[in-house]
Amino acid sequence: MHENLIKKAKQILTENYQPSGFTLPCKNLYPFQWLWDSGFIAIGFAHFDMPKAKQEISTLLDAQWENGFIPHIIFHTDTDTYFPGADFHRSDLHPLSSKKYKSTGMTQPPVTGFVLEEMYNISTDKEDLLTYIESEIDKVFDNHRYFYEQRDINNEGLVYIYHNWESGTDNSPIWDDIWATVDSPRYDFKRRDTSHVDASQRPSKREYDHYLHIIEIAKEHNYSDEKIAELSPFLVQDPLFNAMLIKSNESLIKLYKRIGNNEDKVRQLEQWQQLSMTSFNSKLYDEELGCYIHYDLRNNKPLRYISSSSFAPLFANIPDKERAAEMVNTMMTKFGNPDQYLCASFDPTSKRYNPKQYWRGPVWINLNWMLYRGLAQYGYKNIAERVKQDTIALIEINGFYEYFDARKEAHGEVRAGYGGNDFSWSAALLIDMLSD
Ligand code: DGY
């Protein structure tokens, strides 16, 4: 079944792979290595080309800073087809940044821990994979230490992000409330994304002003974590980001136990994990909405909106059974209408919903992959299966796009896959979903 789709998916990954040891998320649009893309891509490669999966993660971890931080973009080449590039981000300002690679000074969801576990589970040569993991795992541990020591200012086990690009869900309507509090300068710059993709499917000029403004503040202080925590107008505890950290903690614990002789690290991870789980459940759950939400740490208030990130905690085993049932109910009531594909990235019943614009509504394959796993794990087999079938249908009808219109009526006559085409993680995660 789906042999042609799998063949095409493998071809996309192979063609987007670069000789220097990483994979482009999407030709032209994203010409470098992106952190969470790399993780999902490695899961896809693990099914048919394990050496490339290993190389992907090794290259990513090779760009780690001395303080454990892993950047969100690693600029492997000098191309000027992407804005803002290396010369804007200036990672060299931070005293502990990589001397080998130019990068951004922000990060992205910490996928690396659970990706290593996925690779292990997929591998047919477990011994070889465990040797590989042993050679890399301490870097991931150091990355988690960085988060808990530098980004958990209240010592509550919830780490902050200081830029919307760190969330991965770049232009989510959730951030609109924050932008309303920020008076960013109006910059003069030449965007490159809108020469590859229709502007109506991308963030607005004004939003880009905010994105650049936050980076300017961070740069003024050489990307000091302390200063960023003090001054960034964007400081958020994001349920997607923190759920992935928790999921990765769990994977690191399992992998260290398998490797053996790492009791201190296991104990440390278990401590972080316990605190994170408790605070996540007490601070980020909204009883009235029946799902998890974001918390605006700068303005000290919950951001009460429902997005696909609200359900990501299912993937990390965070809610108890009862809460999971409430979440599934919320999801099916708001997002699960039969005339919609699961799962829109933002509440389709909200005024802020836009079915074509990036993270303001379209379906994304990586979130679907997480929801599929999470739902299955809690025993919601039928809904999990629907997420899987919807994912296959969206790709079959449109191709391996970056994101998709959730409205079924939008598909058919015209294409309703948006953003970049031959998008690597759409290919990688479809391969994974079709393998079980
Ligand atoms: C972009 O350029 O849109 C990326 O998502 C930033 O990480």
Any domain includes 13: yes
Long-range pairs for 193-196: beta carbons < 8 A, 24 or more residues apart: 193/29, 193/82, 193/83, 196/28, 196/29, 196/420
Q: Is 248 helix (H, G, I), strand (E, B) or coil?
A: helix
Mode of pairing for the β-strands spanning 291-292 and 403-404: unpaired
> Residue 378 domain-assigned?
yes
* Domain-embedded: residue 334: yes
**Is 41 within a domain?**
no
CA of 167 to the centre of ligand 1 (A): 10
Which residue has its alpha carbon closest to ligand 1 atom 3?
170
Split into its structural domains, the chain has a count of 1
- Domain limits for position 207: 3-21+135-243+259-435
In a domain, 395, yes or no: yes
Residue 292 lies in a domain: yes
Q: What DSSP assignment string belongs to 69-119?
A: ---SEEE-S--SSSSS-HHHH-GGGSTTS-SS-EE-S------HHHHHHHH
- In sign, the C-alpha dihedral spanning 282, 148, 167, 41 is negative
- How many CB atoms are located within 10 Å of the residue 267 CB? 10
Residue 170 in contact with ligand 1 by CB distance below 6 A: yes
178-183 long-range contacts, Cβ below 8 Å, gap at least 24?
178/233, 178/234, 178/236, 178/296, 178/298, 178/299, 178/303, 179/206, 179/207, 179/210, 181/233, 181/298, 181/299, 182/210, 182/213, 182/233, 182/234
Task: CATH number of the domain at 296, please.
Answer: 1.50.10.10
In a domain, 421, yes or no: yes
In a domain, 36, yes or no: no
Residue-level pLDDT, tens digit, the chain, 436 residues: 799 999 999 999 999 999 999 999 999 999 999 999 999 999 999 999 999 999 999 999 999 999 999 999 999 999 999 999 999 999 999 999 999 999 999 999 999 999 999 999 999 999 999 999 999 999 999 999 999 999 999 999 999 999 999 999 999 999 999 999 999 999 999 999 999 999 999 999 999 999 999 999 999 999 999 999 999 999 999 999 999 999 999 999 999 999 999 999 999 999 999 999 999 999 999 999 999 999 999 999 999 999 999 999 999 999 999 999 999 999 999 999 999 999 999 999 999 999 999 999 999 999 999 999 999 999 999 999 999 999 999 999 999 999 999 999 999 889 999 999 999 999 999 999 999 7
Atom of ligand 1 nearest to the CA of 73: 7
Ramachandran angles phi, psi of 291, nearest 5°: -170, 175
Helix (H, G, I), strand (E, B) or coil at 349: coil
- Between CA 184 and CA 27 the distance in angstroms is 31
Whole-angstrom distance, CA of residue 305 vs CA of residue 289: 8
- 75 within ligand 1 shell (Cβ under 6 A): no
